[in-house]
A and B are shown apart, each in its own frame.
Chain A
Amino acid sequence: MGQYFPGDSVIHRMDPRTKILGLVIYIVALFTAKSYASYGLMLLVLALVIRLSTLRLKMLLKGMKPLLLVIIFTAFLNLFFTEGEHVVFQVWKLRLTIEGVRTAGFMLARLVMLIMGSFLMTYTTPPMALTDGMERLLNPLKKIKFPVHEFAMMMSIALRFIPTLVEETDKIMSAQKARGADFETGSLMQRGKALIPVLVPLFISAFRRADELAVAMESRCYHGGQGRTRMNVLVMQRRDKLGLLFCLLVLAATIALAVFGL
């Protein structure tokens, strides 16, 4: 989930911190939204950001596929289990009400926009930049002895090795397929068993890699975050300030809409 697609749009060039904070603000706004007007506003904002990012809508929708089941399930629950007076029809215990349709619709819109918003961030930000931004944002937590640097380093390493492990899995699977292994047919039990020839070598190589990485870090005198300088220092630009201001304005607008009950 959340692959990076290289590009050169305003959104791509933004500081990762802006994108993280912007996303948080957007999600808060999404949860304060209660009316058609505020949902419309959220949709407008999302469309604008997608437009600015030059990502294709198709790509964002494609990423949604694995989550389709969750979305449908949530919508289904809301559709039939919302209390309401205007009953459209009732089959056994399932009661469809106007209120249910409304809640389900809102829930669906909220989920889809939330996922799309998160994808927008991961699609336009390299994983390393994201963890960098996260580390900087969490910096104040150092005061309460939270190991921010170590936490960020663990995240970078995990992220860094996802593609490597995926590639490795592919390679091992191909090699076992070349020896006639079959991962596609058979019962669930058989398919689970068929994975052993992949998992054993994968774990062995993961441990080997971890060992090698530890040795490599040690021999470069890695000793944690203290006194460490960065190659790419994050600097907030004018576009970042404008972007954050815009997000805050959107949040203010949704709150205002909720307060006035529009």
Chain B
Amino acid sequence: MRGGAFPGICLISAAGADSEKRMGIPLEPIITTKNLTHIYSRGTPFEHTAIQGVDFEAYPGEYLCVIGHTGSGKSTFIQHLNGLLKPTEGTVLFEGQDIHGSKAFTHSIRFQVGLVFQYPEYQLFEETVRKDIAFGPRNMKLSPEEIERRVQLAAQWADLDEALLEKSPFDLSGGQKRRVAIAGVMAMQPKVLILDEPTAGLDPDSRAEVMANIERYRRTMNACIIMVSHSMEDAAENADRIFVFHDSRLELRGTPAEVFCHSRELQDMGLAIPKAAQIALRLRDMGMELPEGLYTNEQLKRALLQRKGGAGLA
């Protein structure tokens, strides 16, 4: 984090090894990137730096949110984590090993780090839902029994019942298709599950369902979830830590409380901060003394009541 750029009083000290503190025990990170830089079409008039000098680490069981504008580099970033893109500079380590160490290792990383792209339902291709979910495990060259077991488990996580497994994926509703596509990645049982805007374009019910599926997977597998989103509201609600990308750099990182200490910077980046944080910002602008880093309705309410009590009006 380029800490110096954001002055301001904060309730909690700025980010650092926050995750280790959170769990109480020091953990080995599952994914680390060091000075990750990616430049598209180098040496042509189309040259474009997508990400620059990104240092990142994720721990098992964590729920992370990657936030940023369209074109901020977040999509490029996540495609490095499972080795789909090769960094122009810097390294990506999975459990301490360089994922581009050997070709076979790069290939095996795809199964350890599951990546669900945006609108994953456009990648369904098999005749039945069951076959489509089995595509990943089949590529892992598992035994038929193990494949079947994994398909069953994935169907459970994604809340797909037995009858649905025999249908054609093209006959399903939008929300169902999305869940089938996500189940297809879960079936590989990756230790890290990355999802690029998994709820984009879904109705509120399907949205809640998809989020519940993901949470279920995290709890049963103790998997690390990395969620790409541009909704701060979603991130504030679920994430252990938030990473904010802006102009191809990792500008801010930390727990939601830490990140929302920088509400104003976030707004300047054009990101919509949660309603409570917006109100807190306005109140502070109007001269009211409120602690920084308020971002949930509950926190705001408590802070306001405290002020009221302090003024002797209660």
Give 6 A-B pairs besides A176-B135, A180-B140 with Cβ atoms closer than 8 angstroms.
A7-B45, A178-B115, A179-B184, A180-B111, A181-B139, A201-B123
- Residue on A with the closest CB to B108? A180
Q: Check A172/B123 contact, CB under 8 A, given A178-B82, A178-B115.
A: yes
The answer to whether B184 and A5 touch across the interface, beta carbons within 8 angstroms, is no
The answer to whether B139 and A201 touch across the interface, beta carbons within 8 angstroms, is no
B94 to chain A, nearest CB (A): 15
Please give, as numbers and ranges, the residues of chain B lying within 8 Å of A59 by CB-CB distance: 44
25 A-B interface contacts by CB (under 8 A): A59-B44, A172-B123, A174-B84, A174-B117, A175-B117, A175-B123, A176-B123, A177-B110, A179-B110, A179-B135, A179-B188, A180-B107, A180-B110, A180-B111, A180-B135, A180-B136, A180-B188, A181-B135, A182-B107, A196-B125, A200-B125, A201-B124, A201-B125, A204-B122, A205-B122
The answer to whether B122 and A201 touch across the interface, beta carbons within 8 angstroms, is yes
Q: Quick one: CB contact mask for B110-145 with A, threshold 8 Å, 1 for yes?
A: 110011110010111100000000011001100000
Please give, as numbers and ranges, the residues of chain A lying within 8 Å of B111 by CB-CB distance: 180
Q: Is A105 in the interface zone, CB < 8 Å from B? A: no
Please tell me the size bucket of the interface on B: 20 to 34
| In-complex Cβ contact of A178 among B44, B110, B122 (8 A) | B110
Q: How many angstroms between the C-alpha atoms of A176 and B138 in the bound complex?
A: 12
Q: Is A147 in the interface zone, CB < 8 Å from B? A: no
Please give, as numbers and ranges, the residues of chain B lying within 8 Å of A204 by CB-CB distance: 122, 170
Q: How many angstroms between the C-alpha atoms of A205 and B124 in the bound complex?
A: 11
The answer to whether A179 and B136 touch across the interface, beta carbons within 8 angstroms, is yes
The answer to whether B79 and A174 touch across the interface, beta carbons within 8 angstroms, is yes
Please give, as numbers and ranges, the residues of chain A lying within 8 Å of B120 by CB-CB distance: 175
- Residue on B with the closest CB to A58? B43
Q: Quick one: CB contact mask for B199-243 with A, threshold 8 Å, 1 for yes?
A: 000000000000000000000000000000000000000000000
A234 to chain B, nearest CB (A): 25
Q: How many angstroms between the C-alpha atoms of A6 and B45 in the bound complex?
A: 8
SS of A interface (majority): helix
A210 to chain B, nearest CB (A): 15
B206 to chain A, nearest CB (A): 20
Please give, as numbers and ranges, the residues of chain A lying within 8 Å of B123 by CB-CB distance: 172, 175-176, 197, 201
Please give, as numbers and ranges, the residues of chain A lying within 8 Å of B110 by CB-CB distance: 177-180
The answer to whether A197 and B125 touch across the interface, beta carbons within 8 angstroms, is yes
Please give, as numbers and ranges, the residues of chain A lying within 8 Å of B124 by CB-CB distance: 201
The answer to whether A177 and B125 touch across the interface, beta carbons within 8 angstroms, is no
B115 to chain A, nearest CB (A): 4
Please give, as numbers and ranges, the residues of chain B lying within 8 Å of A5 by CB-CB distance: 45
A55 to chain B, nearest CB (A): 10
Q: How many angstroms between the C-alpha atoms of A172 and B79 in the bound complex?
A: 13
Q: Is B155 in the interface zone, CB < 8 Å from A? A: no
Please give, as numbers and ranges, the residues of chain A lying within 8 Å of B79 by CB-CB distance: 174
A71 to chain B, nearest CB (A): 24
Q: Is B36 in the interface zone, CB < 8 Å from A? A: no
Q: Is A193 in the interface zone, CB < 8 Å from B? A: no
Please give, as numbers and ranges, the residues of chain A lying within 8 Å of B185 by CB-CB distance: 178-179
Please give, as numbers and ranges, the residues of chain A lying within 8 Å of B115 by CB-CB distance: 175, 178
Q: How many angstroms between the C-alpha atoms of A177 and B82 in the bound complex?
A: 10
The answer to whether B139 and A179 touch across the interface, beta carbons within 8 angstroms, is yes
Q: How many angstroms between the C-alpha atoms of A196 and B125 in the bound complex?
A: 8
Interface residues in A80-122 by Cβ distance below 8 A to B read none
Interface residues in A144-199 by Cβ distance below 8 A to B read 171-172, 174-182, 196-197
Q: Check A182/B139 contact, CB under 8 A, given A6-B45, A174-B79, A175-B117.
A: yes
Q: Quick one: CB contact mask for B14-57 with A, threshold 8 Å, 1 for yes?
A: 00000000000000000000000000000011000000000000
The answer to whether A171 and B117 touch across the interface, beta carbons within 8 angstroms, is yes
Q: How many angstroms between the C-alpha atoms of A144 and B107 in the bound complex?
A: 59
Please give, as numbers and ranges, the residues of chain A lying within 8 Å of B122 by CB-CB distance: 172, 201, 204-205
Q: How many angstroms between the C-alpha atoms of A204 and B110 in the bound complex?
A: 26
Q: Quick one: CB contact mask for B65-89 with A, threshold 8 Å, 1 for yes?
A: 0000000000000010010100000
B192 to chain A, nearest CB (A): 12
